[in-house]
Chain A
Amino acid sequence: MAGIQSQSALVAENLCKNFGALAATQNVNLRVEGKGVHALIGPNGAGKTTLVNLLSGALPPSSGRVLLSGQDVSRVDMPGRVARGLSRTYQITSIYPEWTVWRNLALSVQGRSGTSMRFWQPVTGERALYRQAAEIAEEVGLTSRLNAPASDLSHGERKQLDVALALASNPKFLLMDEPMAGLGHEESVRMVDLIRRIAGIRAVLLIEHDMDAVFSLANEVSVLVYGQIIASGTPEAIKNDPEVQRAYLGDDHAA
């Protein structure tokens, strides 16, 4: 059983990342697997986004390894990791603002449906791409905005589109970097709902500041402070961990 699990896990092994003198990631060991939400919490500047960058291949680690389904992918670039089932969203939404929502999504669907080294057939003739794009829009609640330029979307809708882009590759592992930042109450509720559905069939590493959302979604929580994981465990255990309360939750509640 343990062997099978490690076959489909995203693992960080002694990951370190230095920016000059700043150790943004220090000896991080982390394991994301199966289904459900593994939450990563930590104060501003703790190195959460840096860790996502290391895991997704956006940044090379200073030392340590990233394993994806048992393979060392530390030297595999971002597209290579996507091909192996890893995908991510962005804290600062990263979309194609000049394109319609539909075209945004069709591009991302195109990535998982055969080669894109096709030079002659007009892409707009590929009904299947646009149909699947529409399905993803439906899933995240953007159906009514399919024909809008992405630059016309509200902040919340952009967050939804960002998540939808990452979903289109149908990843086994999804890294979500603060998908709820800046959302209104109603939008947050919908996003929590979406994350729950997403995590029903894949492993999600969720970075989030909203503790209610974290504790309602996660089956495991890791706490990152100054680049180090200071605690990892069930939501209950983390809530009651005195060190966590001192280093993080205490601050947060005081603020």
Chain B
Amino acid sequence: MKRLLPFLLLALGLALPFILTAMGQEYYISFASRVLVVALAASALNLILGYGGLVSFGHAAYFGAGAYTAALLAGKGAGLPAQLLVGTGVAALLAFVFGWAALRTRGVYFIMITLALAQMLYYLAVSSDSLGGEDGLRISRAALWGDLTLGDDRAMYYTALTALTLGLFVIWRVVHSRFGEVVQAARDNETRTAALGYPVRRYQLVNFVIGGALAGLAGVLMTQISGFTNPSLLSWQQSGQFMMMVILGGVGTFWAGLLGTAVLLGLEEYLGEVTERWPLFVGLILLGVMLFAPKGLGSLGTLFGRKKKEVVE
């Protein structure tokens, strides 16, 4: 079952637009794209926070950096490949600089510095005319081939699905590699990991950059989904939301980003239609999850799985 899960999910992902169309709910295809792209950014944070144990409270910076880079490039007429490449690269570079600075500290200082650096970027975006200030930047959707652009819901959806699939594959390989082993070791016991001969900070920085780069990739696609970018993508609320998604999904479990994003955005979407007080209910549900499944929703699955196994044995 565990081995099949990725393929089942991919099959579901591939079929979803058809299912939604058949149900007459085509409106949700665009919503689903958003879930996939935000899930990529959240999964990237899970690499840093869940596997690396670094509480980065400025994840929106890399997401937003990708988004703004893409928007600026789009304004200059650059195509999608250039936007993806440069957007990801800029986010990686930014993560390198911010990570380098933040990793001189630990614990609560690390949280504060990642937050402060991200806020700097936020204020830069708000106050800069060339970045569109409060309004942000509008773009026209990138062309894929022929007349097809990312303005087409299905094209956008499958592009997002491709990005998330590749991103999760990269994360999977990284987490299970030699490198990933050291990163997780540093999370569990930093001192011992250094005493085993691993220059811990270097590993953490590289991991931080990988996470930042993937968030940048997600940011590029986010601009394409919404057709614009604005400072809210860089805000601390956005960073907090990423963190909430990872925690909700189960910090350091592989599907945390996707699960947390699907549930949180799903709740917002659903409750938003039902009541104006939706944030209150989202908060209550989060509270409930934290109280009854403190290891996240993903842990409910393993709990269930383990019980089943015990019965079999």
- A interface residue numbers (CB < 8 A to B): 56, 58, 77-80, 82-83, 87-88, 90, 94-99, 103, 106-108, 110-112, 115-124, 126, 165-166, 168-169
Which residues of chain B have C-beta atoms less than 8 A from A166's C-beta?
Answer: 195
A123 and B191 within 8 A (CB): no
Q: Which residue of A lies closest to B192 (CB)?
A: A94
B174-209 Cβ-contact flags toward A at 8 Å (1 or 0): 101111111001001101101111111001001000
Q: Could you list 27 examples of A-B contacts with CB < 8 Å?
A: A56-B195, A78-B194, A79-B197, A79-B200, A87-B197, A88-B195, A90-B192, A90-B195, A94-B191, A95-B189, A95-B192, A96-B185, A96-B189, A97-B188, A98-B188, A99-B188, A106-B181, A110-B181, A111-B197, A112-B197, A119-B174, A119-B177, A123-B181, A124-B176, A165-B192, A166-B195, A168-B196
9 interchain residue pairs of minimum CB distance: A82-B197, A94-B192, A111-B197, A118-B178, A116-B178, A78-B194, A79-B199, A122-B176, A111-B196
Which residues of chain B have C-beta atoms less than 8 A from A107's C-beta?
Answer: 181-182, 185, 196
> With A and B bound together, what is the CA distance between A97 and B285 in angstroms?
32
Q: Which residue of A lies closest to B200 (CB)?
A: A79
Which residues of chain A have C-beta atoms less than 8 A from B195's C-beta?
Answer: 56, 58, 78, 82, 87-88, 90, 94, 166
> With A and B bound together, what is the CA distance between A96 and B53 in angstroms?
14
> With A and B bound together, what is the CA distance between A56 and B199 in angstroms?
14
> With A and B bound together, what is the CA distance between A111 and B198 in angstroms?
7
Determine whether B306 belongs to the interface, using a CB cutoff of 8 Å to chain A. Answer: no
* Total contacts A-B at CB 8 Å: 91
B179 and A119 within 8 A (CB): yes
Find B198's partner among A58, A79, A95, A165 (CB 8 Å cutoff): A79
Which residues of chain B have C-beta atoms less than 8 A from A168's C-beta?
Answer: 196
Determine whether B106 belongs to the interface, using a CB cutoff of 8 Å to chain A. Answer: no
* Cβ distance B142 to chain A, nearest Cβ, rounded Å: 29
Q: Which residue of B lies closest to A56 (CB)?
A: B195
* Cβ distance A231 to chain B, nearest Cβ, rounded Å: 29
B283-313 Cβ-contact flags toward A at 8 Å (1 or 0): 0000000000000000000000000000000
A169 and B173 within 8 A (CB): no
Which residues of chain B have C-beta atoms less than 8 A from A88's C-beta?
Answer: 195
B173 and A94 within 8 A (CB): no
Which residues of chain B have C-beta atoms less than 8 A from A117's C-beta?
Answer: 178-179, 203, 206
Q: Which residue of A lies closest to B207 (CB)?
A: A119
B180 and A123 within 8 A (CB): yes
B197-240 Cβ-contact flags toward A at 8 Å (1 or 0): 11110010010000000000000000000000000000000000
Which residues of chain B have C-beta atoms less than 8 A from A99's C-beta?
Answer: 188
* Cβ distance A167 to chain B, nearest Cβ, rounded Å: 11
Q: Which residue of A lies closest to B174 (CB)?
A: A119
B194 and A119 within 8 A (CB): no
A116 and B182 within 8 A (CB): yes
Q: Which residue of B lies closest to A113 (CB)?
A: B178
Which residues of chain A have C-beta atoms less than 8 A from B206's C-beta?
Answer: 117
> With A and B bound together, what is the CA distance between A13 and B176 in angstroms?
43
A120 and B173 within 8 A (CB): yes
* Cβ distance A60 to chain B, nearest Cβ, rounded Å: 14
Count chain A CB atoms within 10 A of each CB in B191, B192, B194 and give the residue with the most. Answer: B192
Which residues of chain B have C-beta atoms less than 8 A from A119's C-beta?
Answer: 173-174, 177-180
> With A and B bound together, what is the CA distance between A12 and B174 in angstroms?
41
Report if A96-B188 is in contact (Cβ < 8 Å); known contacts: A119-B174, A120-B173: yes
A120 and B177 within 8 A (CB): yes
* Cβ distance A16 to chain B, nearest Cβ, rounded Å: 23
> With A and B bound together, what is the CA distance between A96 and B185 in angstroms?
7
* Cβ distance A59 to chain B, nearest Cβ, rounded Å: 11
Q: Which residue of B lies closest to A99 (CB)?
A: B188
Find B177's partner among A97, A121, A169 (CB 8 Å cutoff): A121
Report if A165-B180 is in contact (Cβ < 8 Å); known contacts: A94-B189, A95-B189: no
Q: Which residue of B lies closest to A120 (CB)?
A: B173
B199 and A123 within 8 A (CB): no
Add 8 more A-B contacts to A95-B192, A119-B173 (CB < 8 A): A56-B195, A78-B197, A94-B192, A97-B188, A111-B198, A116-B178, A118-B178, A126-B178
* Cβ distance B52 to chain A, nearest Cβ, rounded Å: 14
A96 and B181 within 8 A (CB): no
* Cβ distance A84 to chain B, nearest Cβ, rounded Å: 10
Which residues of chain A have C-beta atoms less than 8 A from B179's C-beta?
Answer: 116-119
* Cβ distance B203 to chain A, nearest Cβ, rounded Å: 8
* Cβ distance B311 to chain A, nearest Cβ, rounded Å: 22
Which residues of chain B have C-beta atoms less than 8 A from A78's C-beta?
Answer: 194-195, 197
